[in-house]
Amino acid sequence: MGRIKEKFRELREKNKAALICYVTAGDPDIDLTEQIIDHLEASGVDMVEIGIPFSDPMADGPVIQAASERALANSTSLSDVLPLVKRIRSRSDIPVILFGYYNPFFSYGTERFARDAREAGADGVLVVDLPPEEAGELSVHVEQEGLDRIFLLAPTSTEERIEMVSQNASGFIYVVSVTGVTGARPDMDYDLEDLVERIKRRSELPVGVGFGVSSARQAAAIASFSDAVIVGSALVRIIESGGEERQEMLGRISSFTEELSAACYR
């Protein structure tokens, strides 16, 4: 059984929604990314999404755009991220999802990427600008290597598209909570529960909700009807504000994620 599936099984027994946290690799440098991931795991985060920086992050709001720019300023690339995954895997079983835009994966070579990602110990791949219609070439290799293929669904997705994603996805389905880019929002007014239910009618896979989640209150609300709560920009903002005060920043990350993790218990 894959680590993602196993983790969801384990959490179901604890009656907890998975807390999945996103960090951009190399923001502000790859060593700190590694330390941040250790802190995340120690403070109750169940899976991590590692973002591969890209020059043109079209689906991201200002916070993650800036993180991407900081990571690119020190030339972080997919070739740095795979060894990072390997180092994490040497001491931890936390499921790792590689998250990014297609061009860096395409440029690396889809077959080579899938093989190297599996060898490094990654568990799933989510490419934001790769809907099922275009995913064929990457999916074939990713599936061959036994990695999960995670796809997005949005409030604008029709029943037809929910069906298509259900047929192509594995691991879990990632629901974008808002029609918009990534970024923390104080309120999420869309009827997400209904969307999650519509997806669950068509798929047996766990369903996670992300984009805009920034507080324990929101996390608890989402945990009540979904299988995973995904937090990105709110965490990246803490990293951004860290500056030279790294220990203090790591402390704030821990207390923030401990609070989120507690909120994920139903």
How far is C-alpha 26 from the geometric centre of its chain's CA atoms?
16
Q: Pick from 96, 176, 228, 234 the residue near other proteins by CB under 8 A.
A: 176
Look at strands 124-127 and 18-24 and give their pairing: unpaired
- Residues involved in catalysis: 49, 60
Nearer to other proteins (CB atom), residue 88 or residue 128: 128
x/- site string to other proteins, residues 39 to 58, per CB under 8 A?
---------------xxxxx
Q: For strands 124-127 and 148-149, give the pairing.
A: parallel
Q: Do β-strands 47-51 and 18-24 pair in parallel, antiparallel, or remain unpaired? A: parallel
Whole-number Å distance between alpha carbons of 84 and 146: 20
User: In the range 76-105, which residues lie near other proteins by CB under 8 A?
Assistant: 77-79, 101-105
d(CA 105, CA 174) in angstroms, rounded, equals 20
Of 185 and 252, which has the nearer Cβ to other proteins? Answer: 185
Q: Under a CB-based contact definition with an 8 Å cutoff, are residues 20 and 44 in contact?
A: no
Report CA 202 to chain centroid distance, whole Å.
Answer: 22
Q: Identify the CA nearest to 172 among candidates 136, 139, 123, 221.
A: 123
Q: Which residues contact 135 (CB under 8 A, 6 or more apart)?
A: 127, 149, 151, 168
Binds other proteins by CB under 8 A, chosen from 106, 190, 225, 265? 106
Question: Least distance (Å) from other proteins to the CB of residue 266?
Answer: 27
- When the beta carbons of 154 and 238 are compared against other proteins, the nearer one is 154
Number of residues that bind other proteins (CB under 8 A): 44
H/E stretch holding 239 reads helix 233-242
Determine contact, residues 117/106, Cβ cutoff 8 Å: no
Q: Least distance to other proteins from the beta carbon of 105, Å?
A: 7
Residue 107, amino acid: S
Residue window 2-41: x/- pattern of binding to other proteins, with contact defined by CB under 8 A: ----------------------------------------
Other beta carbons less than 10 A from residue 14's beta carbon: 11
* Region 150-169 residues binding other proteins, contact defined as CB under 8 A: 151-158, 161, 165
Applying CB under 8 A, among 61, 124, 171, 208 the residue interacting with other proteins is: 61
Q: State the nearest-atom distance from the C-beta of 162 to other proteins, in Å.
A: 10
Among 181, 223, 228, 263, binds other proteins (CB under 8 A): 181
133 binds other proteins (CB under 8 A): yes
Residues that bind other proteins (CB under 8 A): 54-62, 65, 69, 72, 75, 77-79, 101-108, 128-131, 133-134, 151-158, 161, 165, 176, 179-181
